[in-house]
Structure 1
Amino acid sequence: MISRVYRATLFGLYQLCIVAGIAMMPLAIAARQAGITLPIHRLLENVEDAYEASQAEDA
């Protein structure tokens, strides 16, 4: 039961990170033109890896 809640929470966090990344796209474009990169991809990769690991444990 706890694993289902954990997996659902990770899935929700993953989806939230995707939405935040899309919403911050204009800011990321402006920052890149200024020579700054935002590390959104790292956050997304970490959450994705955690979600996939939780699915592999249940399989």
Structure 2
Amino acid sequence: MYRATLFALYQLCIVVGILMMPLAIAAQQAGVTLPIHRVLANVEKAYEANLPR
């Protein structure tokens, strides 16, 4: 159950990142960086740490 939730969260973060790309590009041109990559990296690490070996 925990692994399935992490997988769903990981997939959701990817979709949100893709949908927010135009906003992120506009923000970057204004000199602001959105921390979406950090959120995605943390969720990815948690998901990969719980994969079966």
Which of 4, 26, 31 is the equivalent residue of 2:27? 31
RMSD: 0.6
How high is the TM-score relative to the length of structure 1? 0.87
1:40 aligns with 2:16: no
Task: Mark the runs of 5 or more structure 2 residues left unpaired by the alignment.
Answer: none
Greater helix content: 1
How high is the TM-score relative to the length of structure 2? 0.97
Runs of 4+ in 1 over 3 A off after TM superposition: none
